Amino acid sequence: MLTGEELTILATSLGVALRAVILSLPVATLAAWALSKPTFPGKSVLDAVAHLPLVLPPVLIGYLLLVTFGRRGPLGAWLEATFGVQLAFTMEGAALATAVMSFPLMVRAIRLAFEATDPRLFDAAALLGAGPWTRFRRLALPLAGPGVLAGAVTAFAAGLGEFGAVITFASNVPGETQTLPLAIYTALQSPGGEDRALRLAMMSFGLAVAGLALAEQIQRWARRRQDA
């Protein structure tokens, strides 16, 4: 069974990934909704920004977060002065770094779900007198619901494994920011830590596969619902 140390690492990983999903879900949903529309001014810019974390090195993302949200960064200083919130080297910081990294993945899954909905349903709703907010809330969101859920689960599973951005921005603090991949890295750095690393790797592998399988199940259920 798992040791106390492993349980702490697991809890940290789950906590970080969950916070990351909660943080990015509303923003990703709105971005995906906007990107699923045919055209609007600034669409290509939004598209590029949403996909940036996919092509930038994770360490660079971590560095950018540090510069902006670190204690001396403009937003970081403001957050600490106004709300007393410190992001760098905390679990919240690890969650922010994870959220940014999994953002493109989430936007992509949710956008596909929005695009799978027959756009004429929105015309039909508009001609019954429903404004944009009603159409989004009563049609787009429930119809894309399974896709949104699948996107969230995928992002959660991916978030469990985020390394570069987290270690750069939030560092490697056991019980606070030391997630599974960071713990594996630490174990490999210490002499005789191969066994620990192997156990952690197997945990990480199991979690990722379970997350992926769950997301796939949700997608399948969503497709069946769309076809019906």
Partner 1 sequence: MTPPALAVDIRLQRGGFALEAEFRHEHGVAVVFGPSGSGKSLLLSAIAGLRRLGGGRVAVLGEPVEDVAAGVRTPPSRRGVGLVFQEPLLFPHMSVAGNLRFAAEQAMRAGRSATLSMDEAIERFELAALLPRAPRQLSGGEKNRVALARAILAAPRLLLLDEPFAALDGLRRRAYLRHLLDLSREHGLPMLVVTHEIEDAAALADTLIALASGRVVACGPAREAMASHVFQSMLDPRDVGSAIPPSAFAGEVAERRERAVWLKADRVLLASERPRGLSARNIWEGEVARLTREADGSVLVEVSAPIGGLLARVTPEAASDLDLAPGRPVWSIVKTHLV
Binding site for partner 1 (CB under 8 A): 118, 120-121, 123-132, 134, 138-139, 142-143, 225-226, 228
| 136 vs 185 by CB, closer to partner 1 | 136
C-alpha separations of 198 from 79, 167, 187, 202 in Å = 39, 20, 9, 6
User: DSSP assignment of 169-189, as one string?
Assistant: HT---TTTT--HHHHHHHHHH
DSSP annotation of 140 reads: I
Dihedral over Cα of 126, 128, 130, 136: its sign:
negative
Q: Which three-class secondary structure state does DSSP give residue 228?
A: coil
Q: Rank residues 124 and 198 by Cβ distance to partner 1 and give the closer one.
A: 124
Report the nearest approach of partner 1 to the CB of residue 129 (Å): 4
Q: Supply the minimum distance, in Å, between the C-beta of residue 134 and partner 1.
A: 7
**In the complex, least distance from residue 145 CB atom to partner 1, rounded to whole angstroms:** 8
Q: Which two tokens mark 189?
A: 């750095």
Rg (alpha carbons) of the chain, rounded to whole number: 20
Q: Tell me how far, at minimum, the Cβ of 44 lies from partner 1, in Å.
A: 22
Which two structure tokens, joined as six digits, stand for 139? 């049609």
**Of residues 86 and 226, the one with the C-beta less far from partner 1:** 226
- Shortest gap between Cβ of 112 and partner 1 (angstroms)? 18
- Least distance to partner 1, CB of residue 214, Å: 22
Q: Looking at beta carbons only, is 118 or 194 nearer to partner 1?
A: 118
Q: Are 150 and 222 in contact (CB under 8 A)?
A: yes
**Do residues 14 and 94 make contact, with C-beta atoms less than 8 angstroms apart?**
no
**81 or 128, CB closer to partner 1?**
128
Q: Which amino acid is at 115?
A: E
Torsion sign, CA atoms 81, 83, 89, 94: negative
**Smallest separation, CB 33 to partner 1 (Å):** 17
Cβ proximity to partner 1: between 33 and 63 the closer is: 33
Do the Cβ atoms of 92 and 42 come closer than 8 Å? no
